[in-house]
């Protein structure tokens, strides 16, 4: 019979779990040994109980023998020099020590923990791993060439799994609530897939996140092995537990070991991915059985993760820069305009729709002094005035404010359970005055979230009190999330603030009138930049992805068939190499124009990347899609482009199946296209 606990008891169990001192376990994993020395590195204060399995001295004898006898005078001298003035070694050392009549090589890590120096030794393999550097370099070069975040992360998980041999490798991304979702995965046939599954924030509690800011790598070679205690278990002079946060051998929390066992994981390796705002996500590697990887291979995996993270941040920065440039184009026009005041209402009527598209909003309002102007789906005038009053008051403090969950925000009393769930509010302020607000609203975005196991905190009673235990099942569990809008990104927040500043200047100086014509042109340019490939004039990948998602949604709702054609210019590198990149550009431009002429008005053409293009054919079954692919192939093959060789394409065709998403459709079309390449190029292959 299950025990029922009150909300207060569950909260108390959660708080106790968050206080678990996982950084001070008084034990290590059995994959190496540990010594704790005094600050001057003259005395041994603690040692792991397995010390004699690695060095010719027992844990109990180590304090008597002293650091020089245990480690050797040469290694001890190196450690003293390298740690001088530092909190930890700049990089691990490699040292050799004789043990049981054999010379063994060790990976040596040392760091300061309070007024103690902690030294960890891990045995290295008997043979040197000379091919490792070459393999890692190839993986790093591939990551450096990735131009899309999805391509980058897929390459990372595939590369790490091929290098380290784990059964499953995932990239696990955190959202603003601390929940994680698997956004990339590579796995073997005998392990479950968690791609697109979510994990609750309680799976990685706050103290674990803090540890990742200290030590980005967490290795658990054997989740079934018993921990090795320290001797003595507490510091003999301070009576406290040793903080092992910066080390590799720190023992694993029993709760986490149970979690791994319930997931069917016998070994794991996790590497933190830090973004500009903290912990972005993790690379998580799982083995079904215990698996020890060498320190060198572990460091190689970490290097790949650091490279991928840097590349990911660069790609995001590029995307943010493009978005901000579109906003800056509009701002530049704003600051140069001079003219008569139109008033907020006329301004929004003419330019509000473009702002809605730019910020992904359903409604935009300008509340300026006693005027309220509105475009799109918005609350009534009275509610908008209430919002402005709240934001201008002592609680809102007249500062920019945003929320994606208005129903649970301080403005819940204004909105209740209305359709508006997201609000980005920017003051129209000059100096210390705040005469108005730019208000952008987003509607509810109902999300069907797939969890890896039901995310609920269910304590069990131990010693008369509730204690949290890991869930036993990770089977897919679907939940419908309501009451939220799409999140406001930092770059959208920044863009809105900058736009609000310029609008404020114009409003106060009564210079709205001549702004209109340039705003129209700027918004057209914004839309063109957002959706169009600059070389071919076709849709860009972002716009194509939007339309694919829309067509899949329509297919699911109305059972309306659609098809996807992915085609690639054959031997395009040869064209560039032989005739130059300008000729290659002419080929892509001419090809796009030729294909566009062959399509119906209801079909869509976009550049997928490089020399790859996508055609989204609406209301098309497999036969129609195959016929269209053959027409396109023949049409391209018949083109004559001066200054280049004849051009052909390889076409991959697929159609929508119930349950498909964009990723699965594109993957099938990609497989078909590469089959066409393998079978000789200049042909159409289908995966339907």
660 inside domain = yes
298 touches 219 (CB < 8 A): yes
285 inside domain = yes
564 touches 671 (CB < 8 A): no
Domain boundary among 107, 123, 139: 123
3 inside domain = no
Domain boundary among 123, 142, 159: 123
Model pLDDT for residues 366-415, shown as the tens digit of each residue: 888 778 888 999 988 888 988 888 888 876 677 889 999 988 888 888 88
Q: CA Rg, the chain, in Å?
A: 31
Beta strand ranges found along 114-216 (DSSP E): 116-123, 168-174, 180-187, 198-199
Total of domains in the chain: 4
Peptide bond before residue 341 is cis, with ω within 30 degrees of 0: no
DSSP state of 250: B
For residue 2, the model assigns a pLDDT of: 47
- On whether both 671 and 681 belong to a single domain, the answer is yes
112 touches 83 (CB < 8 A): yes
Taking CA 607 as the corner, what is the angle to CA 605 and CA 612, rounded to the nearest 5 degrees?
110
457 inside domain = no
Q: What does pLDDT average to in each consecutive run of 10 residues of the chain (688 residues)? A: 51 55 89 96 96 94 95 94 92 88 91 95 72 82 89 94 94 90 94 92 86 93 95 92 94 90 94 90 95 91 93 86 70 50 68 83 86 89 88 77 89 83 85 75 88 70 59 83 88 84 65 45 62 88 90 89 94 92 92 93 92 94 94 94 92 94 94 95 92
Percent of the chain residues past pLDDT 90, beyond the cut: 53
Compute CA 481 distance to the chain's CA centroid, rounded to the nearest angstrom. 20
CATH of residue 49: 3.30.450.20
d(CA 18, CA 16): 5
- On whether both 295 and 400 belong to a single domain, the answer is no
Q: Which residues pair with 441 in a beta bridge?
A: 363, 423
- On whether both 494 and 367 belong to a single domain, the answer is yes
- On whether both 309 and 378 belong to a single domain, the answer is no
Beta strands 217-220; 93-99: pairing state: unpaired
14 inside domain = no
d(CA 109, CA 90): 10
Model pLDDT for residues 234-260, shown as the tens digit of each residue: 999 988 999 999 999 999 998 899 889
572 touches 677 (CB < 8 A): no
For residue 11, the model assigns a pLDDT of: 52
Q: Is the pTM of this model over 0.75?
A: no
- On whether both 505 and 644 belong to a single domain, the answer is no
- On whether both 144 and 54 belong to a single domain, the answer is no
- On whether both 254 and 149 belong to a single domain, the answer is yes
220 inside domain = yes
DSSP state of 160: H
- On whether both 416 and 281 belong to a single domain, the answer is no
d(CA 170, CA 270): 10
Look at residues 488, 482, 453 and name the one whose alpha carbon lies nearest to residue 469. 453
Helices and strands (H and E) in the chain: how many = 19, 27
d(CA 526, CA 488): 19
| DSSP states of 520-568 | HHHHHHHHHHHHB-TTT-SB-HHHHHHHHHHHHHHHHHH---EEEEEEE
Whole-Å CA distances, 359 to 146, 326, 442, 447, 583: 27, 11, 9, 20, 38
12 inside domain = no
Model pLDDT for residues 146-172, shown as the tens digit of each residue: 899 999 999 999 999 999 999 999 999
For residue 639, the model assigns a pLDDT of: 92
d(CA 636, CA 480): 46
488 three-class SS: coil
Q: Which residues pair with 121 in a beta bridge?
A: 33, 108
Beta strand ranges found along 559-670 (DSSP E): 562-569, 604-609, 612-618, 649-655
Look at residues 174, 163, 136, 184 and name the one whose alpha carbon lies nearest to residue 274. 174
Q: Single out the catalytic residue among 147, 611, 640, 687.
A: 611
d(CA 103, CA 100): 8
Contacting residues for 372 by C-beta, under 8 A, at least 6 apart? 344, 365, 366, 381, 384, 385
- On whether both 136 and 178 belong to a single domain, the answer is yes
What count of Cα atoms within 13 Å lies in the side-chain half-sphere of residue 647? 30
The two most distant CA atoms of the chain are separated, in Å, by 93
Q: Which residues pair with 364 in a beta bridge?
A: 375, 440
d(CA 539, CA 604): 8
Active site residue 611: yes
17 inside domain = no
CATH of residue 307: 3.30.450.40
CATH of residue 404: 3.30.450.270
Domain boundary among 315, 347, 370: 315
d(CA 31, CA 34): 10
- On whether both 191 and 233 belong to a single domain, the answer is yes
Look at residues 501, 481, 494, 592 and name the one whose alpha carbon lies nearest to residue 544. 592
- On whether both 430 and 574 belong to a single domain, the answer is no
CATH of residue 571: 3.30.70.270
Residue range of the domain that includes 359: 337-446+483-530
332 three-class SS: helix
Look at residues 602, 620, 609 and name the one whose alpha carbon lies nearest to residue 567. 609
- Quickly count: other Cβ atoms within 10 Å of residue 585's Cβ: 13
- On whether both 560 and 524 belong to a single domain, the answer is no
d(CA 591, CA 632): 10
């Amino acid at each position: 019979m299950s025990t029922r606990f009150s909300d207060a008891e569950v909260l108390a169990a959660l708080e106790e779990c968050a206080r678990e001192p996982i950084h001070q376990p008084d034990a290590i994993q059995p994959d190496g040994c540990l010594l704790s020395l005094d600050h001057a590195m003259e005395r041994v204060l603690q040692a792991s109980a397995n010390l004699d399995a690695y060095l010719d001295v027992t844990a109990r004898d180590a304090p008597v023998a002293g650091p020089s006898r245990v480690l050797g005078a040469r290694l001890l001298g190196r450690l003293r020099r390298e740690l001088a003035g530092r909190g930890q070694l700049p990089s691990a050392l490699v040292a050799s020590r004789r043990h049981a009549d054999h010379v063994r090589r060790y990976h040596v890590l040392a760091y300061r923990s309070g007024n103690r120096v902690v030294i960890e030794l891990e045995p290295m393999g008997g043979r040197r791993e000379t091919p490792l550097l070459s393999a890692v370099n190839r993986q790093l070069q591939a990551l450096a060439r990735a131009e899309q975040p999805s391509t980058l992360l897929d390459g990372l998980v595939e590369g790490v799994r091929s290098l380290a041999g784990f059964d499953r490798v995932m990239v696990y991304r955190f959202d603003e609530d601390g929940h994680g979702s698997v956004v990339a995965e590579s796995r073997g046939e005998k392990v479950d897939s968690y791609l697109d599954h979510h994990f609750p924030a309680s799976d990685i509690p706050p103290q674990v996140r803090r540890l990742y800011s200290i030590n980005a790598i967490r290795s658990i070679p054997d989740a079934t092995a018993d921990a090795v205690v320290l001797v003595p278990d507490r510091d003999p002079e301070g009576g406290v537990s040793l903080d092992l946060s910066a080390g590799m051998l720190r023992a694993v929390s029993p709760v986490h070991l149970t979690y791994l066992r319930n997931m069917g994981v016998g070994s794991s390796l996790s590497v933190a991915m830090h973004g500009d705002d903290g912990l972005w996500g993790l690379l998580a590697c799982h083995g079904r059985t215990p698996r020890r990887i060498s320190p060198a291979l572990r460091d190689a995996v970490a290097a790949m993760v650091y490279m991928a993270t840097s590349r990911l941040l660069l790609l995001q920065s590029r995307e943010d820069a493009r978005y901000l440039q579109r906003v800056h184009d509009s701002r530049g026009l704003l600051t140069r305009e001079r003219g008569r005041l139109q008033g907020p209402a006329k301004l929004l009527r003419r330019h509000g729709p473009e702002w809605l598209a730019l910020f992904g909003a359903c409604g935009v309002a300008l509340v300026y002094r006693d005027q309220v102007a509105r475009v799109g789906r918005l609350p009534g005038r009275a509610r908008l005035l209430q919002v402005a009053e709240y934001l201008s008051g002592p609680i809102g403090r007249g500062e920019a404010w945003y929320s994606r969950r208005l129903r649970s925000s301080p403005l819940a009393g204004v909105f209740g359970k209305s359709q508006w769930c997201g609000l980005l509010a920017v003051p129209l302020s000059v100096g210390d005055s705040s005469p108005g607000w730019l208000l952008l609203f987003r509607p509810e975005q109902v999300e069907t979230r797939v969890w890896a196991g039901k995310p609920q905190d269910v304590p069990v009673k131990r010693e008369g009190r509730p204690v949290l235990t890991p869930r036993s099942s990770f089977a897919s569990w679907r939940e419908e999330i309501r009451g939220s809008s799409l999140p406001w990104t930092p770059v959208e927040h920044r863009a809105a603030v900058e736009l609000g500043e310029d609008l404020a200047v114009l409003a106060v100086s009564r210079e709205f009138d001549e702004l209109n014509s340039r705003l129209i042109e700027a918004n057209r340019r914004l839309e063109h930049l957002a959706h169009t490939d600059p070389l071919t004039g076709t849709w860009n990948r972002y716009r194509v992805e939007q339309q694919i998602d829309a067509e899949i949604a329509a297919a699911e709702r109305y059972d309306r068939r659609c098809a996807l054609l992915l085609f690639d210019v054959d031997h395009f590198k040869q064209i560039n190499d032989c005739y130059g990149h300008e000729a290659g550009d002419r080929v892509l431009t001419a090809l796009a124009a030729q294909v566009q002429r062959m399509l119906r008005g209801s079909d869509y053409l976009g550049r997928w990347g490089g020399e790859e293009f996508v055609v989204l054919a609406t209301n098309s079954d497999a036969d129609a899609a195959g016929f269209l692919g053959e027409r396109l192939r023949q049409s391209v093959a018949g083109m004559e482009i001066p200054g280049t060789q004849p051009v052909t394409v390889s076409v991959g065709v697929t159609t929508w199946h119930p349950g498909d998403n964009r990723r699965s459709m594109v993957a099938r079309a990609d497989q078909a296209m590469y089959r066409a390449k393998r079978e000789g190029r200049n042909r159409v292959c289908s995966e339907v």
